[in-house]
Amino acid sequence: MTSNKKRETYGLVVEKGLKHIPNTGETRIQYYITEDDLPLYEINRWLEIVSLGSYKTGESYANKLVIFLRYLKVKYQMHYRDVQSKAIIEEYIKYLLYGDEVMVKMEGKRSLSSIEQYISVLKGFYEWLEDQKEIEQNPIKYGVKRNKKTGNRHLKKRFLYGQIYNFEINENNITGKLRYKERRSHLKWYSESQTERIIDSLPSRRDKIIFKILLETGMRIGECLGLHLKHHDFHEGILSLEKNYDNQNEATVKSKERELYISDSLNDEILDYIRSDRHEVDNKLSEFLFLNHKGPTTGNPVERRNYLKILKEAAERAGFDPKKIITHAGRSTHAQYLLDLLEEGKITEGFIKEQMGWNSIDTLKNYVKVFDSRKRAEIAKDIVERKAKKRTKSRKENSIVHD
């Protein structure tokens, strides 16, 4: 990562804009890359495509791709289309790891898992250029292998001295002396007792309500913090998710708009919060449901990074490792609950798709893997417990016989 030194842009910067979609009439956030204030048309076409699902994806991809563009400009004075040698990609990896004397204001020392993401973005960009026939040779795809059944020749994707296949980076692929950060293991979902401990540790009614909404509805944190007052129908107990790309806190619906039912108790809590805590700090007549209560940002909408900090601090007070806490665990917990209902035959896969706001039911597979793992653990524990009880019962019976 970079140090406290000011990052040099070399004229290449990521900029945020609003794009009007004529067909739908909506306005959406879009991130672009410019060089000396001029937009890079080809690159921005690709960024628009990868941003269709979520503008946050476009932001992340743009910020990773611009690092590579700066590297090419300073180190090689080269256009991205002219990169044909895998050696340049390998040198770029080393730069991400160790930094570079030429680019003294942009240090390396990124973790391997982080580098994997950088190369994945680069891989996607060059594959798109290849599909568009804008380049003749993809620098990240090289080598061939023959399909024994069909006889067809396929490009073999290799990476970093031929040791990494399909970009599965391993600490042993670079050098035995490399220092690396291990991939973090996050708490993916909460048990009932864990949710109670965290709720008890959250400092305010607002924070507790946000956490409960994530658990009850499976909302993403951005969807929850993007809620406006008008989105709460307290008569029906419904929270409506609507896209709004001009939100002050950049929190909005990532995929599908939808209506989500909440419990009567949570509905009452939200109404009480609006009438009391929120009313006291609404000094700007904000349309947002959740507002900051303290400091110079009082009355502004809560932002994701602020709530994550609050959640981590609460989790630490409850005895959790704050490094393992993510806001998405609330959504995953709701998904696990829905899978329980699916197994019991009470709901369908279609219901889960609509409830979670997925564009495709294929996304469910990611949660099923975790669900199956949890179920296996529960069954294994149950078997062990039954065996232990059986042994205890047998010992007691033998003891009675001997007596």
Q: Which region among 61-65, 119-123, 151-155, 338-342 has the lowest average model confidence (pLDDT)?
A: 151-155
CATH number of the domain that residue 281 is part of:
1.10.443.10
Nearest to 202 by CA among 252, 279, 271, 269: 269
Backbone angle region of 37, left / alpha / beta, with phi > 0 → left and psi within -120 to 50 → alpha: left
- The count of domains in the chain is 2
Summarize the confidence of residues 290-306 as an average pLDDT: 94
pLDDT at 3: 42
Do residues 128 and 208 both lie within one domain? no
Q: Which domain holds residue 314?
A: 204-326
Please, which residues bridge with residue 232 across strands?
239
Collapsing DSSP to helix, strand or coil, 19 comes out as strand
pLDDT at 176: 36
Do residues 317 and 229 both lie within one domain? yes
Is a pLDDT exceeding 60 seen at residue 154?
A: no
Summarize the confidence of residues 192-197 as an average pLDDT: 92
Q: Would residue 236 count as lying in a domain?
A: yes
Summarize the confidence of residues 314-323 as an average pLDDT: 94
Residue after which a domain boundary falls, among 91, 114, 139: 139
pLDDT at 35: 93
- Got the DSSP string for 318-382? TT--GGG--THHHHHHHHHHHHHHHHTTSS-HHHHHHHHT-S-GGGHHHHHHHHHHHHHHHHHHH
315 sits in which H/E element:
helix 304-317
Q: Would residue 181 count as lying in a domain?
A: no
247 near 259, Cβ under 8 Å? no
Q: Which region among 76-80, 277-281, 357-361 has the lowest average model confidence (pLDDT)?
A: 357-361
Give the Cα separation of 374 and 377 in Å (integer).
Answer: 5
**How do residues 4-34 score in pLDDT, each as one tens digit?**
444 688 999 999 988 877 777 777 888 999 9
Q: Would residue 271 count as lying in a domain?
A: yes
pLDDT at 181: 45
Q: Would residue 96 count as lying in a domain?
A: yes
pLDDT at 400: 64
Q: Would residue 389 count as lying in a domain?
A: no
Is a pLDDT exceeding 60 seen at residue 2?
A: no
Q: Would residue 4 count as lying in a domain?
A: no
Residue after which a domain boundary falls, among 106, 139, 172: 139
Instruction: Report if pTM > 0.85.
Output: no
Give 311: exposed, middle or buried? Use CB within 10 Å, 0-12, 13-18, 19+: buried
Give the Cα separation of 349 and 120 in Å (integer).
Answer: 31
pLDDT at 130: 87
pLDDT at 227: 95
Q: Which region among 117-121, 139-143, 145-149, 306-310 has the lowest average model confidence (pLDDT)?
A: 145-149
pLDDT-derived band at 171 (thresholds 50, 70, 90) equals very low
Q: Would residue 346 count as lying in a domain?
A: no
pLDDT at 143: 42
pLDDT at 60: 92
Is a pLDDT exceeding 90 seen at residue 135?
A: no
Is a pLDDT exceeding 80 seen at residue 395?
A: no
Do residues 131 and 217 both lie within one domain? no
Q: Would residue 179 count as lying in a domain?
A: no
Do residues 112 and 213 both lie within one domain? no
Summarize the confidence of residues 161-177 as an average pLDDT: 38
Is a pLDDT exceeding 60 seen at residue 54?
A: yes
**How do residues 236-273 score in pLDDT, each as one tens digit?**
999 999 887 666 666 667 668 899 999 999 999 999 99
pLDDT at 374: 60
Share of the chain above pLDDT 90, in %: 44
pLDDT-derived band at 107 (thresholds 50, 70, 90) equals low
Is a pLDDT exceeding 70 seen at residue 370?
A: no
Summarize the confidence of residues 340-358 as an average pLDDT: 91
b/e per residue, 104-134, with b = 16+ CB within 10 A?
A: eebbbebbbebbbbbbebbbbbbebbbeeee
Do residues 210 and 317 both lie within one domain? yes
Residue after which a domain boundary falls, among 305, 326, 347: 326
Longest CA span, the chain = 94
